[in-house]
Each structure stands twice: as structure tokens, then as C-alpha cells.
Amino acid sequence: MHRKGLLVIIGLCICLVLILAFVFGLYSARDLKRIVSEQFNRQQLFLARQAAREIEYSLNYAMQELMSIRYVVQHDIPISKALLEGIYKRVKVKGIDSVGIVDIHGKPSMSAGKDLIKNISLTFQGKRLTSPFLQFLTPKKKQLLVLTYPLTKDKVAVFLVDVYQLVRDHVGKIRSGKTGYAWIIGQKGRFIFHPIKKFVGKDAFEVRHHEAPYFSFKQINILQKKMLNGEEGTGEYTSLWHGEKKGYFNKLVAYAPVHLPYTSVVWSVAVCAPEQEVNAVIHRAYLKHFFLQGTVIFALLLVGLFLLICERRFSQLLREEVARKTEILRKSEERCRLLIEGADDLIFTLGSNGRIISVNEATARFFLKSKEAILGMGFGMLLHFPGQEGEQTLKQLLSTGQSINKEHTVEVNGQKYWLNTKLMPLSLEKDVKEILCIARDITEAKQAEEQLVNTEKLASIGTLAAGIAHEINNPLGIIIGFCNLLMENTPKESQPYKDLKTIEKHALHCKGIVENLLNFARTRSDGYEIVDVNQGLEELLNIVKHTLEVNNIELHTRFAKNLPQVKGERQQLQQVFLNLITNAMDAMDSGGRLFINTQFNPHTKHVEICFQDTGCGIKEELMERIFDPFFTTKEKGTGLGLSISYGIITKYGGTITCQNRRADKGVTFTISLPC
């Protein structure tokens, strides 16, 4: 009895273990089915998203081509048949049937591609063309998506898109599992694409009811309503067919919205596959489990372990695939972001309130601010628009919808820059949603323009100086010559001799002025030599040092050692230095300090000579005119000193600049000469 009872207990334990194994197998199979279904649906959702993004990209590409016609009109370029043919060749691969120009009632004036006149007359009788919309002709005919963009008050650019051709290349080749496929419905519930071609163009709710009037399509109808609302997700439903096959099919489905650009129209891409295909591997393992239930517990444990390993491996493969697809998508988004971030121009967008909502790295780098600090700022404050100019510019953009181009200055870290800024409204229909701003630094171009203006002034004064020299030089020579003849016959101690000396002195002074004009006008092709700037300055300072002391001016010098030599003519460079020292003495009539420094700039490979004084300075409104010939603020000045100096320095490939000192009064003149 004891042994029999033990056997009964062992048998009961075995049966219990078998029952537990059976129950465990059921739960394990159910969980495995759920996990695999979720993973498979996620993969289907990725396929649906990818197809939706590709369709959106194709439509955006078509809209950009359509807007390019507006760009042509804005630049007064006539629209020709050849232009439309060129656009049609580029966009026909995107499913564009025809390209044309029509009036606001749909009457074509020019077209390229297929029969635009017939399609327009069928599609737009009595309707105004103001925005893109979807038009179905008849269930048996193809569906047309009409993209429009207003050019003028009475002309509209039109693209007729064969919707079926547009989406076929993106969703027609999608295969989920062995027989899974994709389909698309429009905003009104009509099939835009379906493997069963007789469904295309028909209402998705009605066609199912028509094919099986006594079958409940509640599950798929609920999912389709979510799709029409632009939602994204996954689900399951039961159908009476799959492709051309008839029967009951439990299907897994994933769907993602397609947002048509510049409209509120939403399509939806769905990818579905029979659940039995997804769970085929699980079903085989489940059958093996049933066949092995009569064997030993060890075999059951091995099968369970095998199923667990297969489950984990399959889940790992699915996770790796999802991670790989996610990485591909991330890289694609990163490439698009780098296109904007890598641009040298300042690119940012504004909301309709004028606040900055996005900004690229070049903008933050230019203004020496972080992106977070710039976001939310008013664009007028960022671009340093004076007064109410920023608000007025924003009002003009919102009211006219036309682009605005401005050249203006900004000050960054105490330095002045010139920007060429173009503000372009991004509008949907007639409402401006955002504003795109593209600014370019044109400081160097402005500086080149200013130098060109100065060069033209010097050229005109050179012509004038040559004329003055020819007109005055001869009479002066005659005056001086006759004066010398008279002095030879006049006693030196007499008053007439002294009068003649006075005449000679002033005549020679006039001759000196004429020679300065000639030096200013003359372009020398020779006289170049290698000059030691420090040595030239020291020779000049030995001459003027006493004059500086007499005028109560302290001289401070700091000459760089081993200073590279420059190409020029020593006497002319000393003439420039002497002119700057003389101007400094005139500006410090009550005494002061004069600083003369030399240094080598390793970045520009130039030798720089700085003259700083503590005089009265120069008014900002006069700063742009100081190098103009004959312009002077002195009572007895000729106005030629700085203009001649400017001509000498530019002749040797250098620059001379001036700016007021901020810490102390006075100005700083900087001469830069190439080594």
C-alpha cells in the first residue's frame, strides 16, 4: 500500500507537473504571441512612417518647384513654354501630370505635360484657385491632387498630380512579412492606393460594406476614424479577405499620417499583415510542445528552454532592426540639420509676433551669444534696428506679404559690422505663419567700397592738381626769376631788397604748395626700396624732437625689436610720419602726450605704426571726410596733408585708419604696411 500510494503520489505529481507545463506553455505561447505581435507592429509602424515622410517630401519638392514660378514672376522674368517644359521634366517623376498657368477661375493660358485644359475644366468649374486641395473625378478614373500657388491677382500656377502614381512608388513595393502590403486613404475616407485596384477611389467604409454587407467591420472602422483624425498607432482587426484571397484573416495593422504641405489635408498610410504569418514560428513551437507533452518532464523542460531562447533571440533581432532603422532616420535628420547649421550666413526664423523661434550656429557665433539667449528675442533688438524700425518692418511684412531687403549696421563687442538682411514671409494662403531671415556679413565689401570712393576722389584731385600746376608753375617761375634779377642789382641793406626778399619768400611758399599738388597727382613707377621703419622714425624724431619740447609735448616711443622691413620710399614715408606728428601738435595746442609705437602683426603679416595723441579728437560726423583733398578744420590748413599721406600709403599696398580714443581724448592713426 505504501508503494502503491507512493506511485499514486508520483503519478499525481507527474500529472500535476504535466498540467503545470501545459498551463505554462499556454501562458508562454500567449505572451510570446503578444510580444512578437507588438514588435512586428512596431516594425510595420516604422514602414508606415517612412512611406509617409517620403510622400511628404515628394509633395514638398513639388510645392518648392511650384513656388519657383512665383520667384520668376517677382524678378520680372517672362514665363515661357520652355520654362514650364523644364519644370515639368524635373517633376514628372514625382507623379506630376501637367504644369500650367491659369486664371482664378481655372482657365489655362499656358501648360506643359498632359492635357491640362481638359483636367482643369473638369476639376474647377466655378471654383476659385486659392489653395492646394484634393479632387476626385469619378471612382473609375484616376484621382488628381491639384497644387496651386498664386502668382498675381489674376494668375495662378497649377500642378496636376496623379495621386496614384505619386504614392505607388512609395507604398506599392512595401512588403510586411510574406504577403503583407500597404494602402492609403484620403481625408474623406477614400482609398488613394490599395493592392485591390477596384477599391481605389472608393469610400473605404462603403466598399467593405458593399463587398460583405452582413459582416461587422467595427474594428477596422474605428481604426480608420483615428487615421482620418491624423493619429498614429497600431491595432488589430478581422477581415474577410487579404489581397485576392478570401476567408477570415486576423490582421496586424500600423498607420501613420501624411500631412500635405501648406494645407490641413491629412492622408494616412496603413501597413497590414495576417497575424497567422507573424505567429507561424510560434505555432510550430506550440505544436511541438503538444507532441512532447506525453514524454518525460525533462524533455518538456528542454522544449521550454528552447522556446525561451528562440523568443529572446527573435526579440533581440527585432530590437536590433528597430535600432538600425532608428539610427538611419536619426542620421537623415542630422544631415538636414547640418545643412542649416553648416551655413556661413546668419539664418533664423521669426514668429508672427517678431520673436525669434529658431536660429543656426552661425548666428549665435556672430553675435557672441548662446542659442538659448537668442531664442525669444525680438529681431529688431538682435539686428540693432533703431527706434520703431523693427516694428514697422514687421507690420510691412505681415500686411504686404512681400520680402524686404535691408543693409544696416550692428555693433558686436564694440565693433561695427555691416549686414545685408533679407526677411521673407512664409505664408499659408494669405496668412503669414513664420518669417525667414537670412543675413550676410558685408563689412569687407563696404570697406572695399569706401576705399574705392577714396581712390576715385584722389584720381579726380590728381587731374585737378595737374591742371593747377600747369597754370600756376610758369607764372611763379617768372616771378621768382625776375625777383632774383632785381635783387642782384639792389643793395642788400636797402628796404627794396628786403621787400624783394619778402616777395621771393612767399613766391617760394606758393611754389611749395604747387609741388605738393604735383606730388599728390603724380604716380611714380620707380623709387621703391627696402625701408627700416624704426630707423626712418628715429631720423625724423631727431629733427622734430626740439619742436615737440618747445610746444610742451611729451614724446613716448616703443619700437619693436627685429621689426621686418617694408617696401617703399623712405622720404615719402617720412613725409607721412611728419604730417601725422604735425597734426598731433596742432591738436595739442596747450601741450600733451604723443605715443609712437611700432609692432609686427603675425596674422596679417604687416608692420603697424601707431600715432596716438591726447588732443581734442575728431568729431564722428567728420571722420569719413578727413582723407578728402582740401578738407580741413584748421584755419590755415590746405587740406592736402592727410590725402597725400593716404595716397602714399595705398601706393605701397598699405592702409591708414583713424579712430577716436575712448579712455582719453585724442585720436589714434594706424599705418599698416606689408612686409
Distance CA 359, CA 382 (A): 12
Condensed to tens digits (0 to 9), the pLDDT of residues 501-542 reads 788 777 776 776 666 556 545 555 456 788 888 888 888 887
CB-count exposure of residue 576 (10 Å: 0-12, 13-18, 19+): buried
CB 575 within 8 A of CB 648: yes
CB-count exposure of residue 4 (10 Å: 0-12, 13-18, 19+): exposed
With respect to residue 135, please indicate whether it lies within any of the assigned structural domains.
no
The last residue of a domain, from among 423, 441, 459 = 441
Same domain, yes or no: 316 and 351: no
Element (H, E) at 185: strand 181-185
Q: DSSP class of residue 173?
A: T
Same domain, yes or no: 405 and 469: no
The last residue of a domain, from among 498, 521, 544 = 521
Domain that holds residue 405: 346-441
Beta bridge partners of 255: 233, 270
Same domain, yes or no: 508 and 635: no
The last residue of a domain, from among 521, 542, 561 = 521
With respect to residue 621, please indicate whether it lies within any of the assigned structural domains.
yes
With respect to residue 618, please indicate whether it lies within any of the assigned structural domains.
yes
Element (H, E) at 30: helix 2-74
Q: Answer left, alpha or beta for residue 113, where phi above 0 means left and psi between -120 and 50 means alpha.
A: left
Same domain, yes or no: 466 and 571: no
What sections of 235-296 are H helices per DSSP?
275-278, 280-291
Distance CA 344, CA 440 (A): 8
The pLDDT of residue 645? 81
Same domain, yes or no: 609 and 591: yes
What sections of 75-188 are H helices per DSSP?
81-91, 116-123, 163-171
The pLDDT of residue 139? 41
Same domain, yes or no: 542 and 630: yes
CA angle 526, 528, 532 (to 5 degrees): 160
The pLDDT of residue 14? 61
Same domain, yes or no: 579 and 654: yes
CB 356 within 8 A of CB 348: yes
Same domain, yes or no: 540 and 643: yes
DSSP 381-433: HHTT--TTHHHHHHHHHHHH---EEEEEEEEETTEEEEEEEEEEEEEETTEEE
Number of domains in the chain: 4
With respect to residue 288, please indicate whether it lies within any of the assigned structural domains.
yes
pLDDT mean for each 10 residues of the chain (675 residues): 52 66 68 79 88 87 81 79 84 81 76 67 51 47 73 80 82 83 86 85 83 84 88 88 80 89 84 81 60 61 71 81 86 74 78 83 83 81 78 80 82 83 76 80 76 61 67 79 82 82 77 62 61 85 79 88 86 84 83 89 88 82 72 64 80 84 76 89
With respect to residue 110, please indicate whether it lies within any of the assigned structural domains.
no
Q: Is 470 helix (H, G, I), strand (E, B) or coil?
A: helix
With respect to residue 199, please indicate whether it lies within any of the assigned structural domains.
no
Q: What is the CATH number of the domain that holds 396?
A: 3.30.450.20
Same domain, yes or no: 548 and 645: yes
Distance CA 651, CA 665 (A): 31
Q: What is the CATH number of the domain that holds 505?
A: 1.10.287
Q: What are phi and psi of 170, to 5 degrees?
A: -90, -35
With respect to residue 116, please indicate whether it lies within any of the assigned structural domains.
no
CB 68 within 8 A of CB 83: no
CB 408 within 8 A of CB 419: yes
With respect to residue 537, please indicate whether it lies within any of the assigned structural domains.
yes
The pLDDT of residue 269? 92
Same domain, yes or no: 492 and 609: no
Residue whose C-alpha is closest to residue 181's, from 280, 113, 249? 249
Residue whose C-alpha is closest to residue 410's, from 377, 370, 442, 376? 442
Same domain, yes or no: 535 and 586: yes
What sections of 490-587 are H helices per DSSP?
495-521, 533-550, 570-587
CB-count exposure of residue 312 (10 Å: 0-12, 13-18, 19+): exposed
Q: What is the CATH number of the domain that holds 612?
A: 3.30.565.10
Helix axes 297-341, 280-291, angle to 10 degrees: 170
Element (H, E) at 293: none
Same domain, yes or no: 405 and 535: no
Task: Return the C-alpha cell found at 234.
Answer: 497600431
Place of cell 495576417: 274
The pLDDT of residue 232? 92
